[in-house]
A and B are shown apart, each in its own frame.
Chain A
Amino acid sequence: MLPLPSFALYAPTTLDDALALLRDHGPDTTLIAGGTDLLPNMKHGLLAPRHLVSLAQIPALRGVWVEGDVLRLGAMTNLETVAAHEVVLTRAAALAEAALSVGGPHHRRMGTLGGNLCLDTRCRYFNQTYFWREALGFCLKKDGTKCHVVEGGQRCVAAASNDTAAALLALEATIELVGPDGARSLPIRDFYTADGIANTTRAPQEIVVAVRVPLRPARASVYEKLRRRAAIDFPMISLAARLDAEEGRVNALEIAVSALAARPRMIRAASQAQGKSLAEVPRAAIAEAAFKECAPLPNIEGDPAWRKKLVRVLADRALRRLGLGPA
């Protein structure tokens, strides 16, 4: 059995109370959303906060709203609700597909959108029991100084493993946060960093409140995920693509790839589609360029060379599903 370490649990009912708890209890405090990833990590001794602040009792954080041409999703909305929401399904399909691919059904009922966006990075040398990690002399991300993925590496390269991040990057989402200095919003592109120890720009005393997804006419998006089983597993490659079309031509194409290192990557070659008619888009060339731009590491499950090849396969599949390139 995997027991939990001891801690105190708080369940504030307003954001102000939650912020006050974060301020009063200092650095030994962690937020808990659905807990489906945090609790196993605590059981493995990966973190041992003395105070846990639950966001589950704050009504303002839960819900899906259409505000003009913006879809706004509360951070504590569970992933099952996100995946089944009519507007998400029809106008931000990549997000629905990504949310539906997180964990298994039981995880998606507890697990939340905000929790998934703030998911801790994963690594085969980190997501292990204390006993296992100690036997190897620990690692850069936790308790040690050495990286076992990159020899001599000084920066943690644990993988961003959140399915919804790639989808929301492709969809140009905006993250709303609130903190001791008030509210701020930032494009999701600026939310993730290349530091595997803490790969978001969320300050420890900030709370993700909501995600805003712009709704555009003639926009389509898809999500593709590489994993061993069709349920429960984290992604070995995560890829989302978004197309804006007008009169049969490509206005914009974006491809986001994640589960590489700490920061999801936007594929530069997607711009090759610009201005082309849908059938003329060089699908194979873009997929090949995506393959070359991505360099999976031996940080998570799956042979890196194989995962790299699958970038090409998933990119081709995503563009095909968007109706791009020769039939």
Chain B
Amino acid sequence: MKLQVNGVMHEVEASPTARLLDVLRGPLGLTGTKEGCGEGECGSCTILLDGLPVNACLVLAGQAEGAEILTVEGLAAGQLAPLQQCFVDDGGAQCGICTPGMLIAAEALLRRNKAPDDAEIREAIAGNICRCTGYQRIVDAIKHAAVVRAGGAS
């Protein structure tokens, strides 16, 4: 089957009935996307499907054919994207399991809202569970990233 991932069209040997998560992590080798609960509760497998965040453990590969997929690997171009750097600088990443999903949910938010407030950020990551940070530092990092992306001071 053919899947468009991070701007590149891949021909991949996989069943359309496999979970998209497994096709990304297996044949495509994109292990940045994590499996947490496997039942759509935790958000650690969040990817963008046509620009919108979904849980890759709840999507069949066949449902993603013809769609544009973005995984955490697609955020960085040579060096960490400003959003990722802000997570590093502001302590938004601790154990790291939720981080790829958080980054993707944040990326989706910042694409449609250039200056989100705390409530909008918390709503955007409401499908992503973090057991380390207590969320505040993630919210801070996303807010910081919005400023950096707008050309403000880092």
Q: Using a CB–CB distance below 8 Å, which chain A residues touch chain B?
A: 1-4, 6-9, 11, 32, 35-36, 39-40, 43-44, 52, 54, 56, 80, 103-107, 109-110, 230-232
Q: Which of A1, A40, A103, A106 has the most CB of B within 10 A?
A: A106
Residues of chain B with a CB closer than 8 A to A36's CB: 40, 55, 58
Q: What is the distance, in angstroms, from A111's C-beta to the closest C-beta of chain B?
A: 9
Q: Which of A8, A103, A105, A231 makes the CB contact (< 8 A) with B17?
A: A8
| B12 within 8 Å of A (CB atoms) | no
Q: Is the CB of B62 within 8 A of A106?
A: no
Q: Which of A6, A110, A231 makes the CB contact (< 8 A) with B54?
A: A110
Residues of chain A with a CB closer than 8 A to B46's CB: 106
CA distance A3 to B15 in the complex (A): 13
Chain B 99-139 near chain A by CB (<8 Å), digits 1 or 0: 00000010000000000000000011011100000000000
Q: Which of B37, B62, B124 makes the CB contact (< 8 A) with A9?
A: B62
Q: Which of B18, B37, B38, B127 makes the CB contact (< 8 A) with A107?
A: B127
Q: What is the distance, in angstroms, from A214's C-beta to the closest C-beta of chain B?
A: 31
Of the A-B pairs whose beta carbons lie under 8 Å apart in the complex, a sample of 14, sorted by A's number, is: A3-B19, A7-B17, A9-B17, A35-B60, A39-B40, A39-B57, A106-B53, A106-B127, A107-B55, A107-B58, A109-B53, A110-B54, A231-B126, A232-B126
Known: A36-B58, A104-B127, A105-B124. A43 touches B38 (CB 8 A): yes
Q: Is the CB of B58 within 8 A of A109?
A: no
**A-B residue pairs, 6 tightest by C-beta:** A104-B127, A231-B126, A2-B38, A40-B39, A106-B127, A109-B52
Q: Is the CB of B16 within 8 A of A9?
A: yes
Residues of chain B with a CB closer than 8 A to A4's CB: 17-19
Q: Is the CB of A11 within 8 A of B62?
A: yes
CA distance A11 to B63 in the complex (A): 9
Residues of chain A with a CB closer than 8 A to B53's CB: 105-106, 109
CB closest chain-A residue, reference B51? A109
Residues of chain B with a CB closer than 8 A to A40's CB: 39-40, 58
Residues of chain A with a CB closer than 8 A to B16's CB: 9
Tier of interface size on chain B: 20 to 34
CA distance A11 to B17 in the complex (A): 11
Q: Is the CB of A103 within 8 A of B127?
A: yes
CA distance A9 to B59 in the complex (A): 12
Q: What is the distance, in angstroms, from B27's C-beta to the closest C-beta of chain A?
A: 16
Residues of chain B with a CB closer than 8 A to A80's CB: 52
Residues of chain A with a CB closer than 8 A to B18's CB: 4
CA distance A49 to B62 in the complex (A): 17
CA distance A44 to B62 in the complex (A): 21
| B41 within 8 Å of A (CB atoms) | yes
CA distance A53 to B137 in the complex (A): 43
Residues of chain B with a CB closer than 8 A to A230's CB: 126
Residues of chain B with a CB closer than 8 A to A35's CB: 58-60, 63
Q: Using a CB–CB distance below 8 Å, which chain B residues touch chain A?
A: 16-19, 35, 37-41, 43, 46, 49, 52-55, 57-60, 62-63, 105, 123-124, 126-128
CB closest chain-A residue, reference B35? A1
CB closest chain-B residue, reference A110? B54
Q: Is the CB of A43 within 8 A of B126?
A: no
Q: What is the distance, in angstroms, from B112's C-beta to the closest C-beta of chain A?
A: 12
Q: Which of A2, A104, A109 makes the CB contact (< 8 A) with B126?
A: A104
Q: Is the CB of B58 within 8 A of A39?
A: yes
Q: Which of B63, B123, B124, B127 makes the CB contact (< 8 A) with A232?
A: B127
CA distance A56 to B124 in the complex (A): 24
Q: Is the CB of B62 within 8 A of A110?
A: no
Known: A1-B35, A35-B58, A232-B127. A106 touches B63 (CB 8 A): no
Q: What is the distance, in angstroms, from B69's C-beta to the closest C-beta of chain A?
A: 14
Residues of chain B with a CB closer than 8 A to A6's CB: 17
Q: Is the CB of A9 within 8 A of B43?
A: no
Residues of chain B with a CB closer than 8 A to A106's CB: 40, 43, 46, 53-55, 105, 127
Residues of chain B with a CB closer than 8 A to A56's CB: 63
Residues of chain A with a CB closer than 8 A to B57's CB: 2, 39
New contact pairs (12) apart from A40-B39, A110-B54, CB-CB < 8 Å: A2-B38, A2-B57, A9-B16, A35-B59, A39-B58, A39-B60, A44-B39, A54-B63, A80-B52, A105-B123, A231-B127, A232-B41
Q: Which of B41, B49, B59, B105 makes the CB contact (< 8 A) with A105?
A: B105
Q: What is the distance, in angstroms, from B59's C-beta to the closest C-beta of chain A?
A: 7
Q: Is the CB of B19 within 8 A of A105?
A: no
